Chains A and B, each alone.
Chain A
Amino acid sequence: MFKPLLSAPHVVQRGEVKPAAAWAYRAFAVLIALAAGGVFLASLGYNPFRVYASMLMGALGTPGMQRETVKLTIPLAMASLGVLLAFKMRFWNIGAEGQFALGAVAASYFANFQPQLPPALLISLMAASAVVLAGLWGLVPAWFKTRFGTNETLFTLMLNYIVLYIITYLREGPWRDPAGGFAATPRFPRQARLPELHFPSIGNVHIGLIVMLLAVVLVYLYLRYTKQGYEIAVVGQNERTARYAGMPVKRIVLRTMFLSAGICGLAGMMQVAGPDRQLTDAVAGGRGFTAVSVVWLARLSPLGSLAVAFLFSVMQKGCSMMQTEFRIPASMSDILQGIVLFFVLGAEFFLQYSIRRRREVPA
């Protein structure tokens, strides 16, 4: 006798979804995203399968291409680790771009003006100064936040532009290479470049690859097994509880932001002393912002960030191939990344809720 009065679907909350199932959902979301991107490509008159195939070839087809993809992954993954530390504390550091660039500036100073130092010391100084300068830069919004409760999102965002214009200033003015025809900073001397390691499968890659992989492991261990990592998690999840438990919340916020920005700065140093070999205002090239998406997609997991950074790099490298072969603008890569982000974040909704229809009363 019970006829359902309502067959309209409604949204209900789900319980815990097993991690494996959750990752399956997300992987599925990536597939749908690629399909949606395919529809977009088809609407432009291309065969999406051929385009994707050429993308994959372009990113991973030859050892040389693999190497280039790996080189793209290094700075992105490194910057993501920095962003991740701050995000774990729910400190929305959108300033990785500037911190990255500032790390490169610090490194460039030693590379261009202290090249007489012994190479090992020079490289170490470049790295250390990058970490410290970027770290201090990161302390600025953190201090204002702890002292006056300023909004760190806007604050860190605005600081990016200051750094970018500092680079422009240095390039046009004090650091301009007198030998060059148009305004540019000098190229790094040989001893200021990161040493390269030979990998049998993909050839020479600068040592930043090892540093980055090491950093992934260290950040993972730091967050999971150290007191400081624990403090970051508590402050991030419940600042009142942290204060109540007697944690020095301000110090934790400052320390973590220093680390977060410092890692981004080191990423910048590795980029300028690795592939770039010259300071330009495009040194960060949007990686600091992409890192935010990477970390978000990876659900604040260090290993996940590495995987997502690699995926994004494949897309970026692949799209440059796509550009030459099909004359599709390489900005297709950005569009695809956006679509992936959209679908994977959409999948999070379905991990928390499911849509149901009203059913009959069970007898």
Chain B
Amino acid sequence: MTPSPPAIQLVGLTKCFDRTTACDRIDLDVRRGEILALLGENGSGKTTLTNMLSGIYQPDAGRVLLDGKPAVIRSPRDAIRLGIGMIHQHFKLVEVLTARENILLGQRGPLKTRPEDALASFGMAVDLDKKIYDMSVSEKQAVEILKVLCRGADKLILDEPTAVLTPQEIQHLFDALDRMRKEGKAVIIITHKLDEVMAISDRVSVLRRGVNVGTVETARTDRYFLTELMVGRPLDLDVRRAEAPLGPTLLKVSKLTARDEGGRQLIQDVSFELRGGEIMGVAGVAGSGQKALCEIIAGLEKPSDGSVFMDGQRIDGLTPREIIRRGVSMAFIPEDRLGMGLVGGMNIPDNLLLKTYRDEKGIILRRRKAREEAQRMVERLRIVTPGLNVKLSKLSGGNVQKVLLGREISLGPRVLITAYPVRGLDIGASMTIYDMLNEQKQKGVGVLFVGEDLDVLLSLCDRILVLCAGRVSAIVESRFATKALLGMKMTGLRTDKEDEYV
């Protein structure tokens, strides 16, 4: 008996951008009833590869075989017609419509599968008549998955699906994926979290610099081998908590409350104290008020109630510049990374000048010192750049991050606020960032670390503040906390609130 051909087979798939080869003759296959993890650092070609499969990019060379037959995918519409369902990291749903309406939207002809049937067979809990804006992140994700399933997708590609989920939600997702596997669907899951790779996949393909450096069976490998494949060298994976004497209270936030322009509550009654020599983690589902909290402390937004004290002096209501002068430094990385804090169209020295250019007297902008500082920073932090005059937007995410954090640290802050500093970064670069934060802590700086990865929060931070729907649901000592506890606290208050309305 000949085995059936793989659901997706890539042969020599190649894509070049200018002089760089994003995907270099990649061979890869996924069989039915199998979950393949696609593992790789940032810039290893994962996204380019999936974009070719979903019809966003056209390959420069090579071919795609679906169930053994050559296929040309010219557009996302082609992709779905051929049974390829892509779940992007950023959801593409219409907020004001219900789940059912989103599933039907843009569909020509009848659905291949009724939403109710798909829900039942994969054990997903979604209210089809709920509006998207009422949904949590994981529900939205479920709708995205339903959408492609109902349109007949039997080959699913999920791009970093767990990045925005709590541990409990991740488990639900994995259960659903497992059922799909049993139904004979082919699933590709893109991730750089090794634990998840080990937990869910049957095989792993590792990409490094656009090349498939190896495909292994998950059962026959371990995290260390995979890391080495991915990074190209063995790497210490343990995030350490540095020892440092606890200093005086630097930042005191009490009863902070803020609303957005539409009057929606962003944070409510947030209180905590941050001391020198500690790293305080902030955990929470995306959109729980992390952004508002950071922006208020940095003076970018005004609270509607409550206060922020630095060294016993009130700083809320001061301008960002005055707050910077008092030694509060914020390295805030929004999703698009260059959104706030850096200017993509400028080079490294000009970006370093942002907070210090006014310290020199006169009207002339003095770039010399910044150039020297940039040169030192490039060497010290091993920033990969063709030169100092290259625009920041041309650097990779990890290097951009190093510039941002490097600049904030070079200002000699007393309080350092950093949000998602390792988002989208590879393991090696992430480790550098954690080391930088630990170093600051040992210098007596108070670090507020808004993070996503609970494992990292637990091992790096001294204490963790858990935000849930804008409120502090817990402040725990990391030594005594568990992932499950954090997960519950992250969603905990939401159920309380629902109870109130029942």
Q: Which residues in A have some Cβ–Cβ distance to B below 8 Å?
A: 2, 4-6, 10, 12-16, 225-230, 233-234, 237-238, 240-241, 243-248, 356, 358-362
Contact = CB atoms under 8 A, between A and B. Distances in A.
A361 B25 contact: yes
Contact of B320 (A4, A15, A243, A361): A243
Contact of A5 (B70, B346, B365): B70
Contact of B341 (A225, A227, A233, A244): A244
A187 to B, nearest CB: 41
B364 A226 contact: yes
Given A2-B12, A5-B72, A237-B344, A244 B61 contact: no
A16 B364 CA distance: 30
A4 B358 CA distance: 58
Nearest to B391: A16
B340 A244 contact: yes
A360 B60 CA distance: 8
Given A12-B17, A233-B346, A356 B60 contact: yes
Contacts of B62: 2, 361
A246 B319 contact: yes
Interface in B315-347: 319-324, 330, 332, 338-346
B17 A229 contact: no
A15 B344 contact: no
Interface in B364-380: 364-365
A358 B74 CA distance: 13
A318 to B, nearest CB: 37
Nearest to B59: A358
A358 B64 CA distance: 14
B324 A246 contact: yes
B20 to A, nearest CB: 8
A247 B357 CA distance: 10
Q: What 9 A-B pairs are tightest by C-beta distance, nearest first? A: A246-B321, A15-B18, A245-B354, A246-B320, A361-B12, A10-B58, A240-B340, A361-B61, A237-B345
9 contacts: A15-B20, A237-B346, A241-B340, A244-B332, A244-B340, A247-B321, A248-B319, A359-B61, A362-B14
B353 interface: yes
B350 interface: yes
Contacts of A244: 298, 300, 320, 330, 332, 340-341
Contacts of A240: 339-340
Contact of A227 (B19, B323, B355, B357): B357
A234 B364 contact: no
Interface string B184-201: 000000000000000000
Nearest to A360: B61
A155 B59 CA distance: 46
Nearest to A228: B363
Most buried by B among A229, A237, A247, A361: A361
Contact of A241 (B25, B74, B324, B343): B343
B394 interface: yes
Contacts of A356: 60
A234 B342 CA distance: 9
Nearest to A354: B18
A349 to B, nearest CB: 16
A246 B355 contact: yes
B443 interface: no
Given A234-B343, A361-B61, 7 more contacts: A2-B11, A2-B63, A227-B364, A238-B344, A245-B354, A246-B323, A362-B14
A248 B299 CA distance: 13
Nearest to A10: B58
A55 B344 CA distance: 44
Contacts of A13: 17-18
A199 B12 CA distance: 68
Contacts of B70: 5
Contacts of B363: 226-228
A361 B25 CA distance: 8
